[in-house]
Structure 1
Amino acid sequence: MTTAPPDSHPPAAPPSTDVEALRREVATLREESSRLRRMLDTAARIAWSHDVRAGGGEPVAPAWQAFTGQSLEAFGNQGWLTVLHPDDRAGALASWADAVAAKRSFSTRYRVRRADGVYVWMLAKGTPVLGLDGEVQEWVGTCSDIQDQCLREERAAFLARAGELFSSSLDAAATLATLANLSVSAHADWCLVDLLHEDGHFERSLVVTADPAQLPLATIVRSLSPVPRDQPVYPPSVALTTGRSTLVPEVTAPLLEAVAQDANHLATMHQVGMRSLLTVPLMARGHILGALTFIITKSGRHYGDEDLQFAQELANLAALAVDNARLLQGARDAIRLRDEFLSVASHELKTPLTPLSLKLQVLSRAVKAHPDSPLAPVIEAHVETGHRQVRRLTELMNDLLDVSRISAGTFRLQREAMDVAALVREVSARFAPRFALEHCPFTVDAPESVPGCFDKPRLAQVLDHLLDNALKYGAGTPVSLTLTADGAAARIRVRDGGIGIAPEQRSRLFERYGRAVSERHYGGLGLGLYLTRTIVEAEGGRVSLESRPGEGAEFEVMLPLQQA
């Protein structure tokens, strides 16, 4: 029999009250843990944990499995990356690696593939649980559904980008091509663009698919006509005829049969494999311009009311751009027709001027043959007036022809060696009688010779316009024509003391049909200074103006004497 050593006592059993308290504390902790997990399940779509001590990771069941369809076995060893969008995997893994290395919380966005194959934007957050030794014992985190927020951000950015691209082009075809390609890359697998032209005929102008392998099928789809029936049910036809939108969240076989225009149309729609569809009209200023159709064929996503609202906003932007492009094209066509008319009219009006000028010359010779006739001075004065008016009308016709040539891009210079000073004196001599008739003191200051290489008739035309302008707006005031040369450039200045020009009107004077005064008080077509600027700039020079209201005006033409 063994006896206990002196002063030795067996260990005392803990009081039953301490055991019960410990059990209650454990139960409380379990209940609190369960409550926290339920809170996580309520607050986030997915809650997860990674037990570093156990060397594995385990999402809180059943959220992960229910959302992604991935098994717990597939989740481990970074298997969770396989349900992320391929474009987001590298960023997600980098965020996780940085957080592990720094033992700090992380937050990142990525798209998670739902069990039905649709990717959903998630906001993933994780935080480390540290032990007493400062080492990470566990990672816990959540994945919250932010799909709606991201879609709103994407759509706002998409609309802003589309608006920029639409505003950068005033070509309707380019605008629609941009829209279709943008849409297919972001919001649809197919995009169809149907147009209603101003003459009333329908056209399928564009079909874009995201899959290059489907291009032959896209060609077939484009060949299908959107021409509606008497009571249209085919969505593009509905939009083109009534201006109403169509939303089909899920395309079914009976629906395709109902909207098909014929057997070929039905077979093609089945071949496309439509799963969801929406069509919106292109409308501007109350007029239907066309229709946009967006189709989903691959993913499990279905269009909804928010998608329809977004498509309508996009269609409004596109319709405005298309309408502006059509208005611009209409204006260009009108200008082209006007220029063609002016060109033809100029030729036709010049035709009777030639025999009229010849008749005046014959009459002039006849008068000179009878100098003693008392009617000779009167007839000669009338003949000279007729010559002057014929020359003026010829100049106006030539100006109109020049404008037509400029618009058509056929305006050309024919340079030759010439003396600018001699040309200045020649044109001045021709204008001297007109200045005398208007009681305008006219002075000319030019050196003996200024050699250059210019288109002589065109340069004479510049002088004609400048002197004619001075005669018209400076009648009764001194007019001066000055030519100077500094070796590199020739400068021609024409100054009058007439009504002058307000500063805000100066830039308009050099534009086509530009005027600074009312046409009721001053005649002309508003082309002289426009043609002056065009000719001078074609010669490599520039024209400028200095003027104040009531103090006259001075035009300066600078021409380089050394032509390239």
Structure 2
Amino acid sequence: MTSPLLDPSRVSTPPSDAEGALREEVARLRQETERLHLLLETAAQVTWSTNPARDALTPISPSWTAFTGQTAEQMRNQGWLLALHPDDRAGALAAWQRAKAGTQLFATRYRLRRVDGAYVWMLARGLPVLGADGCVREWVGTCVDIQAQALGEERAEFLARASELFASSLDASATLASLANLSVSALADWCIVDMLHPDGHFERVQVVAADPSHAPLAATVQRLTPVPQERPVYPPAVALATGRSTLVPEVTDAEMQAVAQDAHHLETMRRVGMRSLLTVPLMARGHILGALTFLVTTSSRRYRDEDLRFAQELANVAALAVDNARLLQGARDAIRLRDEFLSVASHELKTPLTPLSLKLQALSRAVKSHPDSPLAPVIEAHVETGHRQVRRLTELMNDLLDVSRISAGTFRLQREEVDVAEVVREVATMFAPRFALEHCEFQVEAPGAVRGCFDRARLAQVLDHLLDNALKYGAGTPVSVRLVADGPVARLTVRDGGIGVSPEQRPRLFERYGRAVSERHYGGLGLGLYLTRTIVEAEGGRVSLDSSLGEGATFMVELPLTRP
């Protein structure tokens, strides 16, 4: 039997071995702590902790001091807030106080000032470390650099706001003014907009400084001419002449001397105090429209490649808006010139029609004075054809003149007490021979009297256009006109059984020069229904169309018989 004194399991470990094991455990803990510190330093730009007894931040690594330049002493008594952007301090302090009050996660975003003076967006997060008694022993946290993410969000929002502003105006000057004012609020201390006009001349159209006190200096800068030279070196001139961008992260006096166009230009640039410069071209559809120049003059910010890319993206949006505004203005100018031409042409064409009509009338009287002449019927037929064509030309000229009046805003109605039924019968009587000639069954239904206050001539013009339309597109099919009085409204309906109109073509019919068919097969200027709509709406009514392709068309005019 073995003595218990000799049992190995009963032999205790020598004290020296226990101490060695403890030292090994402490060494492992230190290594693990150092490893955790390294991981933390890798994951975050700044680490921090607080001592609730002192209510001050104490970096657990030199990262806070290295990043901000603040010492531990400067951070006491909420001194750490001074390292935050002034606009972010209140929000950060409120988030910190809420977290402390509820012993919950501290999380917020703010701009932290780097030791070089530049602000960087940080995501700050912190957690309480509790002691054995459940009380907060300390707070530990990190600040992670989210500058790229925040900048991307800001710029996306900026571009959306810029696009909205550009879309709100189709005036090129207003677009450029919006661009300059928007830019100084987020991108630069100064924004300069130079334009290359369609006629080839250059103009500095906008100069905006963030500081209102620089308005006189901005006026001086605007008077400078960015005329490109044969080999331009001045950044706006380079963009206007070649379409190339320029990035100067740090502007030196030597560089200003190198690009200055003259002594006055150099003196002005020195007064502005450029520190960093960025110029991008405004280009659309392969054409250079202008140039944008952004200047930093007051802060430590310096433009980099990512700023150049963003500025070019903004310039692309602005250039598209400017190009659209120019295209719209060009279209308006073309329409104005066209209307002026049509007005002049209408007057000039009407001038010879009057004596021609008088000659035809004289010839008609001469023929009637010799009824026994064998040529009398032939000549009378030719004279009637001439009369008909002169009337047709007169109507076309009158339509063109009406369009010119509408465009110029001089289209007026001369209202009087009118019997609408009487007007309908008169116009129908004039059209009856034409329908008979085309072998169209023509029916007119109108009550004894439908009275209202209208422009009699314009009312007759409306029915004239509708019947002419029915005769043109419904030739050989029945055509009917019906007038009814429905309380305070008169309803005039013109129906034909002609070619009809497809649903997608209906809206175009009432527009100026609108047509649903080719002008090669059907004549006219495409103005009749446009003038019909204009006259009816001016009288306070409305006109509508019910039609399907191949099933004829029904036009309905509603006119108010009483007026307020």
Q: TM-score range by the shorter chain?
A: over 0.9
- Residues 196-251 of structure 1 show CA distances to partners (whole Å, capped at 9, x for unaligned) of 11111111011111111111111111111101222110000001101111110100
Which consecutive residues of structure 1, in runs of 5 or more, have no partner in the other structure? 1-13
1:57 aligned partner: 57
**Equivalence for 1:407:** 407
Q: Output the CA distance in 1 between the equivalents of 2:343 and 2:532.
A: 19
Determine whether 1:109 maps to 2:109.
yes
TM-aligned CA deviation for residue 258 of structure 1: 0.5
1:348-375 per-residue CA deviation (whole Å, 9 max, x = no partner) reads 0001011111222222233333344443
Q: Can you list the C-alpha shifts for 1:163-188, whole angstroms capped at 9, x where unaligned?
A: 33333332222222222222211111
Q: How does 1:380-391 map to 2 (within 5 A)?
A: 380-391=380-391
Structure 2 gap ranges (5+) = 1-13
Aligned equivalent of 2:174: 174
Question: Which range moves more in the overlay, 379-388 or 183-192?
Answer: 379-388
User: What is the deviation of 1:83?
Assistant: 1.6
Q: Does residue 1:130 correspond to 2:152, yes or no?
A: no
Q: Is the 8 A contact 1:184 1:190 kept in 2?
A: yes
Other structure's SS at 1:169 match: coil
Measure how far apart 1:30 and its partner are. Answer: 5.1
C-alpha distance in structure 1 between counterparts of 2:145 and 2:462, whole Å: 73
CA contact (8 A) 1:444 1:482 kept: yes
Within 5 Å, which residues of 2 pair with 1:201-220?
201-220=201-220
Instruction: Report the Cα distance in structure 1 between the residues aligned to 2:122 and 2:350, rounded to whole angstroms.
Output: 78
What is the deviation of 1:43?
Answer: 2.5
SS in 2 for 1:465: helix
Paired residues, number: 551
Alignment partners' CA distance in 1, 2:551 and 2:30: 99
Residue 66 (structure 2) aligns with? 66
Q: Structure 2 CA distance, aligned partners of 1:293 and 1:142?
A: 38
Cα offset, 1:91, TM superposition: 1.3
Partner of 1:354 in structure 2? 354
- Which deviates further from its counterpart, 368-377 or 479-488? 368-377
Decide whether aligned partners of structure 1 residues 130 and 417 sit closer, same or farther in structure 2, where only a CA change above 3 A counts. same
| Closer, same or farther: CA 500–57 of 1 in aligned 2, 3 Å | closer
Distance 1:479 1:54 in 2: 99
Which residue in the other structure is 1:449 paired with?
A: 449
Listed as ranges, the matches of 1:79-94 within 5 Å are 79-94=79-94
TM-score in terms of structure 1 length:
0.94
> Which structure 2 residues correspond to residues 42-441 of structure 1 after superposition, within 5 A?
42-441=42-441
Partner amino acid, structure 2, of 1:70: Q
Q: In the alignment, residue 427 of structure 1 is paired with which amino acid?
A: V
The equivalent of 1:559 in structure 2 is 559
Distance 1:145 1:307 in 2: 18
Whether the 8 Å CA contact 1:126–1:140 is kept in 2: the answer is yes
C-alpha separation in 1, matches of 2:476 and 2:312: 66
Any idea what SS the aligned residue of 1:303 has? coil
Q: Secondary structure at the match of 2:73?
A: helix
SS at match of 1:186: coil
CA contact (8 A) 1:53 1:138 kept: no
Does the CA contact (< 8 Å) of 2:417 and 2:454 recur in 1? yes
Give, in whole Å, the separation in 2 of the partners of 1:132 and 1:459.
Answer: 97
Secondary structure in 1 matching 2:412: coil
CA contact (8 A) 2:57 2:80 kept: no
1:465-487 deviations in Å (ceiling 9; x for gaps): 01111111222222211111022
Any conservation in 2 of the 1:444–1:481 contact (CA below 8 Å)? yes
For residue 502 of structure 1, report the CA deviation from its aligned partner: 2.4
Supply the distance in 2 between the matched residues of 1:517 and 1:31 (Cα, whole angstroms). 88
Structure 1 residues 126 and 356: alpha-carbon distance in aligned structure 2, compared to 1, 3 A threshold: same
CA positional deviation for 1:82: 1.4
Greater Cα offset, 15-24 or 291-300: 15-24
* Aligned CA-pair RMSD: 1.9
Amino acid at match of 1:553: A
Instruction: Give yes or no for contact 2:107–2:123 (8 Å, CA) kept in 1.
Output: yes
CA distance in 2, matches of 1:56, 1:377: 118
Q: Give the conservation status (yes or no) of the 8 Å contact 2:57–2:72.
A: no
- 3-state SS in 1 of match to 2:87: coil
Tell me the secondary structure at the aligned position of residue 294 of structure 1.
Answer: strand
Distance 1:228 1:518, change over 3 A: closer
Q: Percent identity?
A: 75
2-side partners of 1:372 and 1:55: how far apart? 127
The question of whether the paired residues in 1 share the 8 Å contact of 2:55 and 2:77 is answered with: no
